[in-house]
Amino acid sequence: MKLIGNYTSPYVRKISVIMLEKGITFEFVNESPWHEESHVPQYNPLGKVPALVVKPDETWYDSAIIAEYLEQLNVAPALIPREPLAALKVRQIEVLADGVCDAALVIVRHQMLPPEQQSESELLRQRTKIQRGLDALEKLAANGEWLNGEQLTLADIATACTIGYLNFRRVVPNWCVDRPALVKLAEKMFQRESFARTVPPSA
């Protein structure tokens, strides 16, 4: 398998961590979707990473879809519950964590614009999304049923990748204030070998 992506993407990191946790051998192909000469559109017509090339005629894209595909391979450990409703709850937390990443990415890209093209109202809108999302994740992590529990899940991986991205880009430097359950989760997850091996390079 070939994983197409770049080292700084939290969505790519999520898939890398899943494959490392499951012991699935893969080749990482470093491709930025932002360059004009990028080859990413050859794998995903939307020009986004990650993309997972399974065979010459079989490629999966979108991190949530790839995560589902990898779970369908039935390679231990299982990261999504078998019971349909429980699985849906874990997937919803993944969507929530990814949504926080989406908002953070908008901020990062927006701040690259010339100052006169930046909108404070847009930045505030995205920061508000992040704060609401983190508050929801904190409640879920404190509850410990589907996130931050005894068994590793896709929700844990997605949330930790989100926190890692916030740290990396310094989008919300004070995210940990009044969120002890997320701090506990991050500390626990960042100690895993899969996370240590996927730390993004220094910006």
Instruction: Tell me whether the omega of the peptide bond preceding residue 50 falls within 30 degrees of 0, making it cis.
Output: yes
Is 129 within 8 Å of 99 (Cβ atoms)? yes
pTM score, two decimals?
0.96
What are the start-end ranges of the H helices in the chain? 10-22, 63-72, 84-110, 120-143, 154-169, 180-190, 193-196
Residue 203: per-residue pLDDT: 55
pLDDT by 10-residue block (mean), the chain, 203 residues:
96 98 97 86 94 96 98 97 97 98 96 93 96 98 96 98 97 95 98 97 74
Helix (H, G, I), strand (E, B) or coil at 16: helix
Residue 34: per-residue pLDDT: 81
Query: What is the distance between the alpha carbons of residues 156 and 18, in angstroms, rounded to a whole number?
Result: 11
Burial of 131 per CB tally in 10 Å (0-12, 13-18, 19+): middle
Helix (H, G, I), strand (E, B) or coil at 3: strand
